[in-house]
Amino acid sequence: MKIGFGHYLEDALVAYIVKQWKSQKVKIGRTVVQKICYFLKAQGVPMIYDFEMHHYGPYSQDLYYRMDELVADNILIDTSDTSKRSHYLLGDRADEIITTYHEEIELYKDKIDNLLGVFGKFGPADLELLATIHYFYVTHKRYFRKPPSKNWVIDRVIMAKKDKFAPELINEAYDALDGAGLFGWDKI
């Protein structure tokens, strides 16, 4: 008898993300998974998760709970020693779900691998800043049907993050997202 939660393509995508994570400097935990999934959804990779602005940037409560279910089903292992942090590794059942959804993962493999190549060098705070800037830009564009000004986005990030990020860093991160064409990723 097999006991466990039902699994979906998104679960296989999360397992694949953890498997492909190449950064030696940064461990993949809750915040990193949240931001990678946010950017994948924005890029058009099918994710059922809805993201809202939260303390650490765009956040999905459903994804948060889903990560616990993936750990409970031994698809992922959380090796952190405190509940305030997480550090995910593949569990014994990860290959099973990746194999089950292999054909579907192949459809998005290049997007995922490219995204991990770009964002794999960033830590959780960097990803928080990039995702927050992106979120404010894209939600404004969707709601008002026109792109916001750079100053408007920077002001919103400063209001939301207070003194966490220097205005110069926000400006630089905005320019990096804009220069890379990531504001065109608007499928959230």
Domain membership flag for residue 4: no
Is the residue at 133 inside a domain? yes
Please say whether the beta carbons of 188 and 167 come within 8 A. Answer: no
Q: Kindly state whether residue 138 falls inside one of the protein's structural domains.
A: yes
* Position 43 in a domain: yes
As averages over each run of 10 residues, the pLDDT of the chain (188 residues) reads: 66 96 81 97 94 95 96 95 90 96 97 93 95 98 97 97 96 97 93
Q: Which domain holds residue 43?
A: 9-184
**1 lies in a domain?**
no
| CA gap 132, 106 in Å, rounded | 29
- How many domains does one find in the chain? 1
Are 75 and 91 spatial neighbours (Cβ–Cβ below 8 Å)? Answer: yes
* Stated pTM of the model: 0.94
